[in-house]
A and B are shown apart, each in its own frame.
Chain A
């Protein structure tokens, strides 16, 4: 390891370049590509998770031999991550599942299934 004695912190530079590349890729996917909304959302969320991983491993020294790897409470971090996933996914599942908010007609297959409902729910009449 002993990366802290080097003049140039290679790990940090690599992490920084990768973060910028991932951010630009996500922006391009969202604004420049012709992928369907579903693919864009899942794609950029995966990119975000990868980028968070880069921060953790390249910048935050999650794995570090100098502390005999005793400085990160893995069970606590895992607990936090699982709770976060349950809260976000669970809230979406109970509150929004099967309810679409598409404002302007992008042609997804769900839309055909609840077309009638869609008209009713559409636009500014939501959530009053």
Chain B
């Protein structure tokens, strides 16, 4: 890999800067894995410590959780399609799929906010017990990441409209793509170890 621009291959890999940025982003994701693992560990240890608050099995509903899961799963898929279109050189395809991703992400966030408000009404808040603190910290940190991702996508969509597809903008879209898929990976584990196990035990 030289510092000169390559003439073939995906735009985001053509400069050394692009390759290094993508590599750096993978290192960031490795750090994020460790960040979320501390929250998962806290949650797992505090599981069952509901004190006098409502236990999770009474509040978790399969319906809403499955809707959230499918929204995020589909958004991860459409985000992949956006990157696919970008590599075919289609700004229009990239923009359309990215906007769909954005809407699905917003839908997910809406359901999560509704869910949290619903739990708060049933007497499960951040303060009510060790278990619920751990739950809201874990799910809330993920929700915060989704919120940041949505803001990031909006800014990038503005930028690609102004500048078009260059090695720089396509590298940025590739990186947000990685970030979005990573959020789905984290959600898979929240869905499994928090919601499914919470409904079983």
Binding site for B on A (CB under 8 A): 3-5, 9, 12, 15-16, 19-20, 23, 26-27, 30-31, 37, 40-41, 44-45, 47-48, 51-52, 55-56, 58-60, 66-68, 70-73, 76-77, 79-81, 83-85, 87-88, 90-92, 95-96, 101-103, 124, 126-128
Give the shortest distance, in Å, between B5 (CB) and chain A (any CB). Answer: 14
Give the shortest distance, in Å, between A54 (CB) and chain B (any CB). Answer: 9
Central interface residue in B26, B36, B177, by most chain A CB within 10 Å? B26
Evaluate contact between B23 and A26: CB separation under 8 angstroms: no
Give the shortest distance, in Å, between B200 (CB) and chain A (any CB). Answer: 5
Q: Please give, as numbers and ranges, the residues of chain A lying within 8 Å of B37 by CB-CB distance.
A: 83-85, 87-88
Interface residues of B in 48-105 (CB under 8 A from A): 48-52, 55, 57, 62, 66, 69-70, 73-74, 76-77, 79-81, 84, 87-88
Complex alpha-carbon distance, A79 and B175, angstroms: 21
Complex alpha-carbon distance, A105 and B33, angstroms: 35
Q: Please give, as numbers and ranges, the residues of chain B lying within 8 Å of A81 by CB-CB distance.
A: 30, 33
A-B contact count (CB 8 A): 176
Interface residues of B in 126-184 (CB under 8 A from A): 129-131, 177-178, 181-182, 184
Q: Identify B44's interface contact among A56, A59, A80, A96, CB under 8 A.
A: A96
Chain B residue at smallest Cβ distance from A48? B192
Q: Identify B200's interface contact among A40, A52, A73, CB under 8 A.
A: A40
Task: Count how many chain B residues have C-beta atoms less than 8 Å from C-beta atoms of the other chain.
Answer: 64
Q: Please give, as numbers and ranges, the residues of chain A lying within 8 Å of B13 by CB-CB distance.
A: 66-67, 71
Evaluate contact between B33 and A84: CB separation under 8 angstroms: yes
Complex alpha-carbon distance, A40 and B196, angstroms: 9
Complex alpha-carbon distance, A39 and B55, angstroms: 22
Complex alpha-carbon distance, A37 and B196, angstroms: 11
Give the shortest distance, in Å, between A46 (CB) and chain B (any CB). Answer: 10
Q: Please give, as numbers and ranges, the residues of chain B lying within 8 Å of A87 by CB-CB distance.
A: 34, 37-38, 41
Evaluate contact between A15 and B77: CB separation under 8 angstroms: yes
Q: With contacts A44-B192, A59-B181 known, is A127 near B34, CB below 8 A?
A: no
Chain B residue at smallest Cβ distance from A9? B84
Evaluate contact between A127 and B19: CB separation under 8 angstroms: no
Evaluate contact between B200 and A37: CB separation under 8 angstroms: yes
Complex alpha-carbon distance, A122 and B79, angstroms: 46
Q: With contacts A124-B50, A127-B129 known, is A4 near B10, CB below 8 A?
A: yes
Q: Please give, as numbers and ranges, the residues of chain B lying within 8 Å of A95 by CB-CB distance.
A: 45
Beyond A26-B191, A127-B129, list 7 extra A-B contacts (CB 8 Å): A4-B88, A16-B74, A56-B185, A60-B177, A79-B30, A96-B44, A101-B48
Q: Identify B81's interface contact among A9, A58, A84, A124, CB under 8 A.
A: A9
Complex alpha-carbon distance, A19 and B40, angstroms: 22
Evaluate contact between A55 and B42: CB separation under 8 angstroms: no
Q: Identify A4's interface contact among B49, B77, B87, CB under 8 A.
A: B87
Evaluate contact between B77 and A91: CB separation under 8 angstroms: no
